Structure 1
Amino acid sequence: MGFRPGLKGSLEEILEAGKNQLHHQPPVNTSDAPVQFYDKKISQDVTVRVYTPKEKPNDPVPLGVFGHGGGFCGGDLNSDDKTARYMAEHVPCIVVSIDYRLGPKFKFPTMLDDFETGFNWAYDNAEKLGGDQSKVFAWGCSAGGTLSCGLAKRLAEKGQHKKLIGIMNLAGGTMHPGNVPDHLRDQYKAVEENAVDVPIIDRHVMDTFNRAINANPHDTDYTPALSKNLKDFPKTYSVACGLDPLRDDAIIMDSELKKAGVPTKIDIYPGLPHIFWVFDGLPSTKIFYENILEGANFILS
């Protein structure tokens, strides 16, 4: 199966093309659907979508706080609905998806602030939601993966790391090309290897998003692989895509966490672009979904 060309142009053109390529209809609740959902405004700035499996056990189930993709400038609660729904049904677990504010209107770390607000609400209300407060994890696709790692970093700094049983970073960035320590330079090659002529996102798209949100290369909220508190991160599952300029972000994060003594698991997909699983007809998409279920079982075990 061939891929569409990568996103091009200005930020506005990239976001419009992304909408056209990756458009998702809003989900509809039906009585026979295996997962039910509702939206709830939890603060002036943050709305969440709560997914509950219809066949949920009587006992509390794990609760996953989810961040959608979109380069911090696009996406919404519908963007990764299929992935959120899959996890809710098959883990099974409660999924709380966070509708965080976006760039370029808002700058980083507003997105992480909103994600943390959503996490705190979900954690505090875990029992009411049917979730197990001792099994709360953070996860996300692309930008949402970055937010999950950033949340773990913040909780580690505050001495609250035990609130998270694990994180799942599905192709999210954990580094910034403007701040690569010498000891990691030989490992950080994907930004050049996949700079041009790759599907979905290339170096231009990555840099455009970074500029739009004023991403600070030295802010470890945005570059959690460089955190001084990695030893206090929870179990971590990562996904890296071979034709992705962010490929080595996930690989380096996995390696640095291992060095810090954190249990990790990673799946690498050679020859596939950023968030390839949005293409339903791709054979590797089925494998991806099977693997993230194993990843969830890993962090929850």
Structure 2
Amino acid sequence: MRLPLRLESLGVRAALALPDRAQRALAGRPVVHDGQTLSVETQLMLRLRALVRMPEAERLPVPQGRVEIDRQTVIVGGRQPVGSARDLAVAGVPARLYTPTGATSAPGPLLVYLHGGAFVFGGLDSHDATCRVLTQEAGVRVLAVDYRLAPEHRFPAAYDDAVAAYRWVVEHAAEVGADPARLAVGGDSAGGNLAAGVAAVAAREGLPLALQLLIYPATDSTRDARTYPSIAAFGEGFYLTHRFLELGFESYLPDPAAAADPRTSPLLDDVPEGLAPAYVATAGFDPLRDEGEAHARRLSDAGVPVELRRFEDQIHGFVHLVGVGRRARAAVDEIAAALRKGLGAPAA
């Protein structure tokens, strides 16, 4: 029998608020790989997930898995303050506009945010807490876009929605309080994949874009484990599993040949002239770590300004953990600071 959501949330919050020594006693011996030590908070959270047999979304029917993803992110995200949040439609898909506390009506910086979830899961609610924190800590408006999901809508539906949403923002900047000269596009995991694709389109079409914010992005759908050792090293036991990745691949890309399409593998795309600067965040214990970092290096080699930041003690999905513990929240706050700097937002 599942505990009520509020009790689950309180339990996780209490466990991850314990002193490090107490957490270590509960979590067990440190997990070390590649000279990195997994955060004790994260290790304890993973152990608690196993003890209570928290359902894995990828092992459930897709509709139930989506509900479970939303439930789990609420548990670890908590209720985060924000100036305001309102739902709207953008280029035919649902969206949510977050405005930081104290924002004026004058046009300002705005981040178009694309959620993760292997193109199958996630939405406005799964990433609500994350977007609220980015909004408040960076002092910028955030427009979260709820693109179409697979398997109901296969490739290139998500890509097309992401590009259409960004074009809409450029054309309707005043409606969302955005300064066209201070626009960013970003996302995590599959959303980072889409954000990289949008950035390439913006460069080719001459659309304004000041920053691409890529958080543990999926960049190469061909995903050869020989090329990216992190896939084999962290594909089990660190939240993001091989099964989850395979479900996303099979659902979104029914034709294996599409894996090499630059619209789903931005790492394989040409680097266009005028591509926006990139901030790329990866997690040390993440199957997608190596392909994200390979993408950052490729952009840098092509002359694109890139800041690459590996959060060595974190796992895939750490951007959700803004309501529990300390380490993941500190990482998200650091990402927000990079967003603030990249868009020239006023200091807090």
* TM-score of the alignment, normalized to the shorter chain, above 0.5: yes
**Alignment deviations for residues 53-99 of structure 1 (CA, whole Å, 9 cap, x no partner):** 23114542101111112111111111111221122223222211111
Contact 2:69-2:126 within 8 A present in 1 as well: no
What are the residue-to-residue correspondences of 1:243-254 with 2, within 5 Å? Answer: 243-254=285-296
The DSSP-based 3-state class of the residue aligned with 1:285 is helix
The DSSP-based 3-state class of the residue aligned with 2:279 is strand
Residue 292 of structure 1 corresponds to: 335
Q: Is 2:230 aligned against 1:199?
A: no
Q: Find the aligned partners of 2:332 and 2:169 in 1 and give their Cα distance.
A: 24
**Alignment deviations for residues 213-250 of structure 1 (CA, whole Å, 9 cap, x no partner):** 11622111111112112553211011111221111122
Q: 1:139 to 1:63 in 2, by over 3 A?
A: same
Tell me the TM-score normalized by structure 2. Answer: 0.75
Listed as ranges, the gaps of 5+ residues in structure 1 are none
Work out the number of aligned pairs and report it: 289
What are the residue-to-residue correspondences of 1:224-243 with 2, within 5 Å? Answer: 224-243=266-285
Residue 103 of structure 1 corresponds to: 150
Contact 2:82-2:136 within 8 A present in 1 as well: yes
Residue 211 of structure 1 corresponds to: 250
Structure 1 residue corresponding to 2:325, chosen from 273, 282, 289: 282
Q: 1:50 to 1:275 in 2, by over 3 A?
A: same
Contact 1:27-1:78 within 8 A present in 2 as well: no
Q: Is 2:184 aligned against 1:176?
A: no
Q: 1:231 to 1:258 in 2, by over 3 A?
A: farther
Contact 1:243-1:272 within 8 A present in 2 as well: yes
The DSSP-based 3-state class of the residue aligned with 1:163 is coil
Structure 2 residue corresponding to 1:150, chosen from 177, 186, 197: 197
Q: Find the aligned partners of 2:124 and 2:342 in 1 and give their Cα distance.
A: 24
Q: Find the aligned partners of 2:289 and 2:124 in 1 and give their Cα distance.
A: 25
Contact 1:69-1:142 within 8 A present in 2 as well: yes
Shift of 1:176: 2.0
Contact 2:159-2:194 within 8 A present in 1 as well: yes
Percent identical among aligned pairs is 24
Q: Is 2:307 aligned against 1:259?
A: no
What are the residue-to-residue correspondences of 1:51-66 with 2, within 5 Å? Answer: 51-57=98-104, 59-66=106-113
Shift of 1:179: 6.4
Q: 1:96 to 1:19 in 2, by over 3 A?
A: closer
Shift of 1:11: 5.8
Q: Find the aligned partners of 1:298 and 1:193 in 2 and give their Cα distance.
A: 34
Q: Which segment is superposed worse, 141-150 or 290-299?
A: 290-299
Residue identity matched to 1:191: I
Contact 1:60-1:132 within 8 A present in 2 as well: yes
Contact 1:76-1:99 within 8 A present in 2 as well: yes
Contact 2:314-2:328 within 8 A present in 1 as well: no
Contact 2:76-2:324 within 8 A present in 1 as well: no
CA RMSD of aligned residues (A): 2.7
Shift of 1:289: 2.2
* Higher CA-based Rg: 2
Q: Find the aligned partners of 1:51 and 1:15 in 2 and give their Cα distance.
A: 23
Q: 1:153 to 1:267 in 2, by over 3 A?
A: same
Contact 1:153-1:221 within 8 A present in 2 as well: no
Contact 1:47-1:100 within 8 A present in 2 as well: yes
Q: Which segment is superposed worse, 118-127 or 8-17?
A: 8-17
Residue 165 of structure 1 corresponds to: 210
Contact 1:231-1:260 within 8 A present in 2 as well: no
The DSSP-based 3-state class of the residue aligned with 1:282 is coil
Greater fraction of residues in helix: 2
Structure 2 residue corresponding to 1:120, chosen from 167, 170, 175: 167
Structure 2 residue corresponding to 1:91, chosen from 138, 146, 167: 138
Residue 59 of structure 2 corresponds to: 9
Listed as ranges, the gaps of 5+ residues in structure 2 are 1-40
Q: 1:232 to 1:258 in 2, by over 3 A?
A: same
The DSSP-based 3-state class of the residue aligned with 1:135 is strand
Shift of 1:257: 0.7
Q: Find the aligned partners of 1:253 and 1:275 in 2 and give their Cα distance.
A: 19
Q: Find the aligned partners of 1:21 and 1:154 in 2 and give their Cα distance.
A: 34
**Alignment deviations for residues 188-231 of structure 1 (CA, whole Å, 9 cap, x no partner):** 211121222x2221222111111111162211111111211255
Q: Find the aligned partners of 2:150 and 2:107 in 1 and give their Cα distance.
A: 36
Structure 2 residue corresponding to 1:41, chosen from 77, 84, 89: 89
Residue identity matched to 2:333: E
